[in-house]
Chain A
């Protein structure tokens, strides 16, 4: 394992060459991504599906930010929105602002966006089984991005892809580069996906449930790898998952999503020790815990998430919320600070605090 990071040099001063949409420089921690009030709607026959309905968050350099929520709460759509990969006809980003390293992502042309995809912003998909082209060798597939963005020759790209495979600790990288995806196990494929995503030294990595399809031991290995690479190269990671355990261990900050909106945002420690939103509280309570020996029934959240094309009035969670008051049924809660770096969108908590 000597020389594990050859060829990967991240310079912190490296900034986007795009001239369009510059923002004032920030003095604080280096901010990689700022999502402001992002809205992605799908226009279907049943009506407008508000998959992402006004979410805001930031990701800083070298930080892993978690995005948790149930299936169908808009996590993946918000990830795809960052790359502007929402399939249009049905979907469209209707509002908000995406600021990536002083570039306004929603204002640049498709061509400029393509130059960023894979290069500055990379994505790891959920299914390692289907995210690799079965008819190309994995070395070829990693080389593809290198040739595309780094203008490398075929040979140099091939060498670099072998180095990347070594970086993600794929055993026998040199021989494996000649393999087709069907010859690899799920964990190995996901390593290849990570190598592919890291190939161009991205500033931001969107990991959409990177380990959902893998078993637990492989999950841990891969996430350790991801975390190590993130701290080493200063890559910001948006970790989309429904697994609270993964977030607790690997993320620094968490955004909890419910029905297309962020209901709570906090540092990991704060969220797990002092959750403020009823949804988060119940979500954490529903996780099986090893340190509790009592044989009580695992608590669940009653009901099902509302259909996104027909959200209830007021707070989307109120039909399932045991704390709901009248105000919850009428007015959408504001996203307000309840502590340092801790934001909650809930009327009840606000009232209690006062």
Chain B
């Protein structure tokens, strides 16, 4: 018993910071989540060193080799302009991850700021703000996204803003509920009794206790952000050409060669699936470790999210069918 206690003590003292401790626990306990994290890290590596790895330039056209199937010289084949799919996928990783990360950061920022303001101030202000959030959640996400993309115009930054706002506002609910809980803790009262004003209480006591929640929100939405980016790129509102994105590669001319040259859409589709799978697994693992209490309600939330993703796929399918007709 004593030894066990000492072990616990050592493990606590050994890795002081909760963040490092969480990562160690993730690797030790959550193998699937670690696998997801490895996928994401690999993609991050590919994104950073893409120029060195890619065998061809992203916009290098080889008209002598149009629509080549995967083979020795074109590992993943070529598209209708004779561009190497592998190179485009590699460069596309960069944009996908950049938009994904940027949008995720924006989601976390918007969720945290709205959640804290709404939860901490409370009262009538909270009620009004939450009705706005309600209204926002009622609107179909794809419609909001298309409207925002149409207004902002196609660019990488606009895609980030559109995704960030779309997801950040509903996610402020999660942060708000955490703030409501922390606000009633005695240490907050103790801080007020210490002479802290509201801003100091928020910075010193509310924010540090909301950070794990924000991390959970961010990791859980990361996969969704990538997916939405692909969706709007597919629909032509995302990052404009000539930059390759997975979503853009799925759409465009690939649609006309679905049956004759399926590799045009299979590879980016597989990559997208891998990225979303990795992000979701990592997100779930991190959530289980950072907030075990959320696990129960989390499953309901994942179900909801799965339904949301299914909905998007269903919409994609119908769009595809229409285009084919």
Known: A131-B186, A131-B187, A134-B209. A123 touches B193 (CB 8 A): yes
A116 within 8 Å of B by Cβ? Answer: yes
B191 within 8 Å of A by Cβ? Answer: yes
State which of B189, B195, B197, B200 has its C-beta within 8 Å of the C-beta of A116.
Answer: B195
Which B residues lie within 8 Å of A122 (CB)?
A: 193-194
Residue of A nearest to B197 (CB): A114
Residues 160-195 (chain B) with a chain A CB within 8 angstroms: 185-187, 189-195
Give chain A nearest CB distance to B18 CB in angstroms. 8
Which A residues lie within 8 Å of B186 (CB)?
A: 125, 127, 130-131
B208 within 8 Å of A by Cβ? Answer: yes
CA–CA, A115 and B185, complex, Å: 22
State which of B9, B13, B192, B209 has its C-beta within 8 Å of the C-beta of A133.
Answer: B209
B307 within 8 Å of A by Cβ? Answer: no
Known: A85-B189, A148-B200, A178-B16. A133 touches B205 (CB 8 A): yes
A101-123 CB mask vs B (1 if < 8 Å, else 0) is 00000000000001111110011
CA–CA, A148 and B204, complex, Å: 12
Known: A133-B205, A178-B16. A148 touches B195 (CB 8 A): yes
Which B residues lie within 8 Å of A148 (CB)?
A: 194-196, 200
A83 within 8 Å of B by Cβ? Answer: yes
Residue of B nearest to A181 (CB): B187
Residue of A nearest to B207 (CB): A135
A300 within 8 Å of B by Cβ? Answer: no
Question: Are B195 and A115 in contact, CB atoms less than 8 angstroms apart?
Answer: yes
Question: Are A145 and B209 in contact, CB atoms less than 8 angstroms apart?
Answer: no
Question: Are B187 and A117 in contact, CB atoms less than 8 angstroms apart?
Answer: no
A287-328 CB mask vs B (1 if < 8 Å, else 0) is 000000000000000000000000000000000000000000
Most buried by B among A119, A183, A193: A183
State which of B13, B193, B208 has its C-beta within 8 Å of the C-beta of A136.
Answer: B208
Residue of A nearest to B208 (CB): A135
State which of B18, B194, B211 has its C-beta within 8 Å of the C-beta of A144.
Answer: B194
Known: A133-B208, A134-B209, A135-B209. A123 touches B190 (CB 8 A): yes
Residue of B nearest to A178 (CB): B16
A226 within 8 Å of B by Cβ? Answer: no
Residues 208-223 (chain B) with a chain A CB within 8 angstroms: 208-209, 211
Known: A118-B195, A119-B195. A132 touches B189 (CB 8 A): no
Which A residues lie within 8 Å of B195 (CB)?
A: 114-119, 145, 148-149
Which B residues lie within 8 Å of A127 (CB)?
A: 186
State which of A83, A118, A119, A133 has its C-beta within 8 Å of the C-beta of B187.
Answer: A133
Which B residues lie within 8 Å of A132 (CB)?
A: 187, 190
Which A residues lie within 8 Å of B191 (CB)?
A: 133, 144
Question: Are A183 and B194 in contact, CB atoms less than 8 angstroms apart?
Answer: no
CA–CA, A115 and B197, complex, Å: 10
A196 within 8 Å of B by Cβ? Answer: yes
Which A residues lie within 8 Å of B194 (CB)?
A: 117-118, 122, 144-145, 148, 196
Can you name 17 A-B pairs with beta carbons within 8 Å? A83-B193, A85-B193, A114-B195, A114-B197, A117-B192, A122-B194, A133-B204, A135-B209, A144-B191, A144-B194, A145-B194, A148-B194, A148-B196, A148-B200, A178-B16, A183-B13, A196-B190
Interface on B for A, CB 8 Å cutoff? 9, 12-13, 16, 18, 185-187, 189-197, 200, 204-205, 208-209, 211
Interface on A for B, CB 8 Å cutoff? 83, 85, 114-119, 122-123, 125, 127, 130-136, 144-145, 148-149, 178, 183, 193, 196
